[in-house]
Amino acid sequence: MSLPLHLPCILFALERERLFIHDTYCIDCEMRGGPCRGFLCAMNGQPTLVIETGVGVERALRAVDWLLSHPVHEGRTYQPSVFLFAGFAGALASSLHVGDLILADEVIDMHGNRWQSPLPAPPGVRRGRLLTADRFIGEPAEKLALGEQHGALVVDMESAAFARRCHERGVPWACLRVVSDDVSVPFTTEVADLVEDGKVRLGRVVRLLLRKPWLLPKLLRLARQTRLAARRLADGVVQFLKCSSDG
């Protein structure tokens, strides 16, 4: 049996978050048999795994555990050399704007547990603390309060569990987040509920707009923001992997 192929692994929760990464890391084939979508990709002959975990802690952990089990595809065994969890996050500081990139030097949860990642940030990417919340945070006042309380720049809902699992298994990891909504912009659970299995469901959008047509400008603004954020995120991922390989 051939030795495992060690390669970096990029995890995204949403399809939209990986929207532009394949402009650089082209898909060679889709991996089968896992708990989530996985793609074997390459840039200039350098293989990389790109994983779409789906939304939520349990799905993220299932994806990590699957990858650490050394999945086999077409007779070849793959083993992650480093995990990069990349995706959108909400700003907790007024100095951050849509498209700003944060590489977490520390991930902290709402109970004060924390996990540090020493991996270097590429040029143009800010280092800072990432807070993982156990519920949806959408109100500007609460965002600012949490940022001050925890000394965090951005918030998401999955990175703490990811960091804990990687720490337990002794695998190098990093969390790269891009700001998809400013701290001053309210973000409702109604908008968050439009996503299912990592994708925005058109039927849910239509039903929401039929009930609340005044939300259309907000949804259009959100679409523009997430597209910009996805573009910046792809650039950040490429630079991170280059920086990691050079190091």
pLDDT tens sequence across 111-170? 999 999 988 888 889 999 999 998 888 789 999 999 999 999 999 989 999 999 999 999
Number of domains in the chain: 1
In this structure, what token pair is assigned to residue 14?
A: 């949403």
Predicted pLDDT of residue 209? 65
What is the C-alpha separation between 116 and 73, in angstroms, rounded? 32
Contact 237, 86 (CB under 8 A): yes
195 φ, ψ to 5°? -100, 135
Say how many CA atoms lie within 13 Å of 57 toward its Cβ: 14
- pLDDT at position 198 is 47
CATH of the domain at 192: 3.40.50.1580
Range of the domain at 105: 5-246
What is the pTM (predicted TM-score) of this model? 0.88
pLDDT top residue among 183 and 191: 183
d(CA 87, CA 177): 5
What is the spatial distance between Cα 245 and Cα 247, in angstroms, rounded to a whole number?
5
| pLDDT confidence band for 193 (50 / 70 / 90) | low
- Bridge partners (DSSP) of residue 216 are none
Q: Identify the weakest region by mean pLDDT among 37-51, 52-66, 93-107, 214-228.
A: 214-228
**Assigned token pair, 232:** 């910046």
